[in-house]
Structure 1
């Protein structure tokens, strides 16, 4: 089928979907993408304009590639980034079109970004994720990923206060907020998101959800959908939800951990191999690539000045460049899973947070893993216990955003995978935010970032 026939087929499907949504009382569709700073941006169209959007796209300036989290512009003229000139087309992905359970009358779809001639935009993070998936699949590898994401529910006001101070992981939080938690579960189920668990977390008012593993693009889409659904349910309860890396200075922050596994021809590469803990050689090389890249990956997965307030040793934030079997202090945690549960073996990257663009995260992690396979990397000895105590010579991951940006700038495999425009956009935004918050104290940073995510 040619490109024209594909467009016509998609246009027909969009008309059918618009008619279905209209019959269900859906009046508008939110079309979202995530910018380089990790902020979810949106344009919306009336439902009866969905087919037009699918065929012709919705116009949007490319300047958002270099927006910082506070809506400033970190221009990079030599790469053509940050100029007022030009336009892009936002093309909705109808495969992910979803009626929003907590926003009556609304539906949602993520978009891919193209130029006016229909060519892929080189700084589109969602297309980057697609490209990295395709590179893995060309080698016969199929990645599965899923996210755990944390947030703090707070009462409005300045300063805001947590909705509950009940004990960490305590049943009291579920009792006090049973209607709220139930409404989140119901809304996610109505959107056909496969919720694995929801539970109170460590910080006052903090909760966490885990969604089922999926292909990396779908996992990133579902993270955005789940996060904005939680935000909407929270608002309907008269509260505010913050997914920021640090909500209140001095408290444990919000992580957004990535779980990943690999398959080849239906075979689980994280189980049944000759290596340590049953890893196959391919899985070990992939994980070794991720571990090797972690200092640079921090600029992708921990992209805010607030991220480094969360990076505290002995707080389960994964601040050391090491791996370990079920070690929650290691940045890379191997999870063998129950022996009788097929597909449960995976690895968890613990040092990332929800300020990250999840499409950049999944794409960059795949790129790092493939580099590990190409380079024949192997894992060092695993670390047991808290590395701060049991292995004090273990390297720390970057302790500031500036250090993370410098490591990212030096790491050639990510530069190659992203391409010069996307790599330059990430570097420009990270350095701009680092400069902006230089000399600011923890409370100033937490307050400035609190409601951006």
Structure 2
């Protein structure tokens, strides 16, 4: 819909409420319900939104080292704008209108959506169009938020038992929820290409239909929140933790991408081995070079690195391959139209704006610098590839590397890198303070 049509629909609607949201550094939607007249007013200009959302963590604890906001600034309202193109109606909430906003108008260095828009501008300047899509795995439980607390997050009940990937039976056993996800998300403007059970108790995987860069990231953010809300409506609880149980596989958040010009896929060259064009080679080379430098944008939590271990269906090194699901980067070359790169490092716990920005900016870095792909494609098990660079094994190490990275600053600017690194250092310090169940079991009696 065009903006005038959206304005007319809102003005003529009997619904007086509108839901509005922005995204914090962890990819969590933060928002409010406002009167539609307020929305109509701010659609024509901008609005203030308290920038405390960039001054606290996922649990609303304030960071102790302030940069872009804090007690020292008084947590003011930062200027933000509503993106009319994000207009949707939430079908599971009585079709209440919904919009996303961001802080591009004030060039706020901590706004993830604004950062992605800057990367998109670089792509536009290079005269490429991008097709992009994300896919997510997540676990579903017969629990509620209160049950999690009451059980201290132990002995949780997945919605189905056992390891049963691609199961038609498991879909049928939870058909109301399964169908509500597909139809509800589609009506919400997050169309799915497919959804199926993965291997593991209560785990699903969904692929979101491809689109342009910003819309793909918007869909990913709204997908995660939408799934959680639809699950709760069905008496279930959905989790996008990278890995919730050390006996089970982790949950991915893979990113698919391709570059186009004049309606042609520039990743495809029928005369090259594997049909991989020189542009795609440089794009792959850029991602491989940048990957260890910006890993926290793909793996942002302490838990992310519990997934990035050998044999857990996630990469551990800077590898690429053709149709190889053990590598960090997987080339899918079935046809010219489908030719694309799948970045397999991200987990389901990503902030989609930051992960998409990381993938696109690092790929473009390789293209603009015409980097050569000297590293051969990995054949077979990439976990055994000893020639590639091992990824940092924990958030502390990955963050320290990004903090010193000239590449990270070149891609995203010093202000963003400083703020983002500070938030990841905070995350590491919060974890370091904790005494875990593993430590109690290992040391309490014996040591």
What is the TM-score with the length of structure 1 in the denominator? 0.88
Is the 8 Å Cα contact of residues 197 and 210 (structure 1) preserved in structure 2?
yes
1:181 alignment partner, SS class: helix
- CA distance in structure 2 between the partners assigned to 1:32 and 1:293 by the alignment: 31
Is the 8 Å Cα contact of residues 249 and 442 (structure 1) preserved in structure 2?
no
Aligned residue among 392, 414, 431 for 1:398? 392
Other-structure match for 1:19: 11
- CA distance in structure 1 between the partners assigned to 2:20 and 2:127 by the alignment: 32
Number of residue pairs the alignment of both structures matches = 426
- CA distance in structure 2 between the partners assigned to 1:373 and 1:443 by the alignment: 47
1:93 alignment partner, SS class: strand
Other-structure match for 1:228: 225
- CA distance in structure 2 between the partners assigned to 1:296 and 1:250 by the alignment: 30
What's the offset of the Cα at 1:210?
A: 0.4
Aligned residue among 36, 42, 50 for 1:47? 36
What's the offset of the Cα at 1:124?
A: 2.0
- CA distance in structure 1 between the partners assigned to 2:96 and 2:67 by the alignment: 40
What's the offset of the Cα at 1:49?
A: 2.2
Other-structure match for 2:305: 308
2:185 alignment partner, SS class: helix
Is the 8 Å Cα contact of residues 39 and 355 (structure 1) preserved in structure 2?
no
Aligned residue among 398, 408, 414 for 2:402? 408
What's the offset of the Cα at 1:304?
A: 0.3
Is the 8 Å Cα contact of residues 76 and 424 (structure 1) preserved in structure 2?
no
2:302 alignment partner, SS class: coil
Question: Compared with structure 1, are the counterparts of its residues 263 and 126 closer, same or farther at alpha carbon in structure 2 (3 Å cutoff)?
Answer: same
Other-structure match for 1:132: 119
1:355 alignment partner, SS class: coil
1:32-431 paired onto structure 2 within 5 Å = 32-77=21-66, 83-114=73-104, 118-156=105-143, 157=147, 158=151, 159=154, 160-169=156-165, 170-272=167-269, 274-337=271-334, 339=335, 342-379=336-373, 380-389=375-384, 391-431=385-425
Is the 8 Å Cα contact of residues 316 and 383 (structure 2) preserved in structure 1?
no
- CA distance in structure 1 between the partners assigned to 2:434 and 2:354 by the alignment: 27
- CA distance in structure 1 between the partners assigned to 2:362 and 2:436 by the alignment: 32
Question: Compared with structure 1, are the counterparts of its residues 298 and 81 closer, same or farther at alpha carbon in structure 2 (3 Å cutoff)?
Answer: farther
What's the offset of the Cα at 1:80?
A: 5.2
- For structure 1, which segment, 73-82 or 175-184, has the greater mean C-alpha deviation from structure 2 after superposition? 73-82
What's the offset of the Cα at 1:375?
A: 2.7
- CA distance in structure 2 between the partners assigned to 1:44 and 1:37 by the alignment: 21
The answer for unaligned runs of 5 or more in structure 1 is 1-8, 446-453
What's the offset of the Cα at 1:100?
A: 0.8
Question: Compared with structure 1, are the counterparts of its residues 419 and 265 closer, same or farther at alpha carbon in structure 2 (3 Å cutoff)?
Answer: same
CA-atom RMSD in angstroms: 2.3
What's the offset of the Cα at 1:297?
A: 2.8
Q: Deviations over 1:212-242 (max 9, x none)?
A: 1111100001112222221121111111111
What's the offset of the Cα at 1:294?
A: 1.1
- CA distance in structure 2 between the partners assigned to 1:81 and 1:424 by the alignment: 15
Is the 8 Å Cα contact of residues 37 and 429 (structure 1) preserved in structure 2?
no
What's the offset of the Cα at 1:409?
A: 1.7
Is the 8 Å Cα contact of residues 336 and 346 (structure 1) preserved in structure 2?
yes
Q: Deviations over 1:228-276 (max 9, x none)?
A: 2211211111111111112234322211111111112222112125543
Is the 8 Å Cα contact of residues 68 and 110 (structure 2) preserved in structure 1?
no
